[in-house]
Chain A
Amino acid sequence: MSWYCYAVAEFAPENPAKGVTGLRACPVSALSAAGLTALVSPVPDEEFDDTVLQANLEHLPWLEEIARAHHAVVDEASRRTGVLPLRMATIYRDEHRVREMLAEHSAKFIEALRRVRNHAEWGVKVFAALRNAPEEEEPADGRSYLRQRIRQRKARDAGTDEAIGVAERIERELRQLSAEIHRHRNQDPALTGRADRNILNLACLVPDTSRDRFLARIEQLRQPAEAGIVVEVTGPWAPYSFAGIS
């Protein structure tokens, strides 16, 4: 039996995840040391051993199950108190090792928890429907084929430039309303399953006091909707993208 760690919070006398169910239907407990509390639950070694874990991560249903269970714990705890989520699959062999980890990084954890206190992460994604080149007649010969290809590429590039310009403007505006901003890699069309393309994938750390202004600004940015541009917001998230303690 090992301990799977979901998140770290400032020390709380009562378990901030009381009544929350973690992986494999085990209750989430609180382990405290050095002014901090780690949220943990037991996991079987045979499933979370180095080599097995490595292989399991390539197996989508397993990955999804762990991701959703991890998030459920972090999300519930973050509604009750300020937490720093840990990277998925952070596992220690016993309680003593969890407490050692807290003590070893306590100054950095406390600094990071203060930084994200009373803030939430919001996800903002911009999608662009890249313009299709106009339908043209079948080229009569090699030369007209080449001309047609060049025209099509120019039309496509102009559409891309325009979309990127819109995305940059949105990022600039949101930066002013955010304490910090992090750009995630753009999502692969195979994962979004959408015909339009993800051209901006932001995480914004927003003070709770600016939340309404932030969301209102996004609504404004959407209207009037620019041709083919879709802005999506998710959140509030626990500060996953702002949990660096280095």
Chain B
Amino acid sequence: MGPVLVRGDLVSAAVEQPDRLALVDLLDRLLAGGVVLTGDVVLSVAEVDLVHISLRALITSVREGRPAPW
């Protein structure tokens, strides 16, 4: 049974940090969702690339935090 987060209430507990949203779920929405406007600060990458580089940063950092498997 997985976690059901209903406005922060944990219906069924199966996660380590029930009070904290998983960053990966958040980034799915913040980097790939939301209204895309051309603001005054324009990133010089396409939106897909933005997701890509950010996820790459995330993956690298997750891996760095773990002991190497060899």
Contacts and interface: CB of A to CB of B under 8 A. Distances in A.
A21 to B, nearest CB: 17
Contact of A57 (B4, B22, B24, B57): B57
A91 B56 CA distance: 23
Contact of A222 (B1, B5, B27, B42): B1
Given A54-B45, A57-B43, A193-B62, A88 B31 contact: yes
Contacts of B27: 63, 67
Contacts, number: 157
A105 interface: yes
Q: How large is the interface on A (under 10, 10 to 19, 20 to 34, 35 or more residues)?
A: 35 or more
B58 A60 contact: yes
Nearest to B27: A67
Interface of B: 1-7, 21-37, 39-45, 47, 50, 53-59, 61-63
Interface of A: 2, 5, 8, 48-50, 53-54, 57-60, 63-64, 67-68, 70-71, 79, 84-93, 97, 101, 105, 109, 112, 121, 123, 125, 127, 182, 184-185, 187-188, 190-193, 201, 203, 215, 222, 225, 230-237, 240-245
